[in-house]
Amino acid sequence: MGTVTILEETSKYPITLIGKRAGVCWGSDVTDNEKNYKRGMDCIKSNHGRTLEYVNVEMVIDGYSARCLREWYTHIGGMPSRLQASTRYIDYTKNGGFDYVIPPSIERNAEAKEKYIALMKSINDNCAAFEKEYDIPREDSAMCLPLGMATKIVDKRNLRNLIDMSHQRMCTRAYWEYRQLFNDICNSLSEMSDEWKWIVDNLFKPKCEVLGYCPEKKSCGRKGKLNE
Ligand SMILES: Cc1cc2nc3c(=O)[nH]c(=O)nc-3n(C[C@H](O)[C@H](O)[C@H](O)COP(=O)(O)OP(=O)(O)OC[C@H]3O[C@@H](n4cnc5c(N)ncnc54)[C@H](O)[C@@H]3O)c2cc1C
């Protein structure tokens, strides 16, 4: 089970901040946070997307598979940044080997689960043997690490990017682990402040909710297709 830890650099009052920044350009009194909040809401409701980019989100995303985070990396709008746990400097063969994600379909099947766990152990044992018996550098034995291995990133992006991401990744067509990760992000951000809770409840939604129809070729049927 992965965890999302929101870092203190994350804007705590995102709607107020949006209004404060927009107020500078409108010659408004930006010392009054009640007015800033109201102005921020106006910006959001008017779809003034650039103002969303002042809201910073920094978080540690830990315990999700390398595969899931490989998909995370495709969301590049607004030039987000991140650091990822090293496969050169961290010794993943220590303490019983690397952690990994077990998909629910495998978890439910005792025989498949046994095979999956044995496979992960075999990869770990071989990585250890490469390093210890054959003196292979860790950066080379790391080529064997599986996509199911759990990893950790420190991520930094803006609200606009996250809203856009929600449209793709809250879609039932998205990979199950990514949907779970996005749900964990929603929960962690909602705990930050009421302003974040409003944003999560009202702006984070699958693309069919935004468009009013499903643009996916293989639809889940939640909304009709455009030509229906
Ligand atoms: C069901 C599903 C299946 C998928 N399958 C695959 C797959 O098989 N292989 C794969 O590689 N990916 C796959 N993806 C990922 C997908 O193709 C996108 O890479 C991912 O959704 C991120 O792109 P984005 O446009 O949504 O977000 P971002 O890259 O964050 O972009 C957000 C918005 O920012 C703007 N923007 C971003 N970059 C630019 C730019 N350079 N120039 C101008 N405007 C820009 C655009 O308006 C864009 O809509 C899949 C996603 C889903 C949900």
Residue to probe by mutation, ligand 1, list 70, 159, 168, most atoms within 8 Å of CB = 168
- Tell me the C-alpha distance between 178 and 146, whole Å: 17
pLDDT tens-digit readout, 72-116: 999 999 999 999 999 999 999 888 899 999 999 999 999 999 999
What pLDDT sits at residue 228?
66
For ligand 1, atom 35, name the residue with the nearest CA.
77
- Residue with CA at minimum distance from ligand 1 atom 38: 77
Which residues' Cβ are closer than 6 Å to ligand 1?
74-77, 161, 164, 168, 171, 173-174
3-84+149-211 CATH choice from 3.40.30.10, 3.10.20.30, 1.10.760.10, 3.30.1360.170:
3.30.1360.170
Instruction: Give CA angle at 173 (216, 114), nearest 5°.
Output: 150
Q: Compute the average pLDDT of residues 15-30.
A: 96
What is the chain's mean pLDDT, rounded? Answer: 96
Among candidates 192, 183, 177, 156, which has minimal Cα distance to 13? 192
Ligand 1 atom with the smallest distance to the CA of 164 is 32
* pLDDT of 227 strictly over 80: no
The pTM is what? Answer: 0.94
Return the ligand 1 atom nearest residue 75 CA.
30
Any idea where the domains of the chain sit in the sequence? 3-84+149-211, 104-144
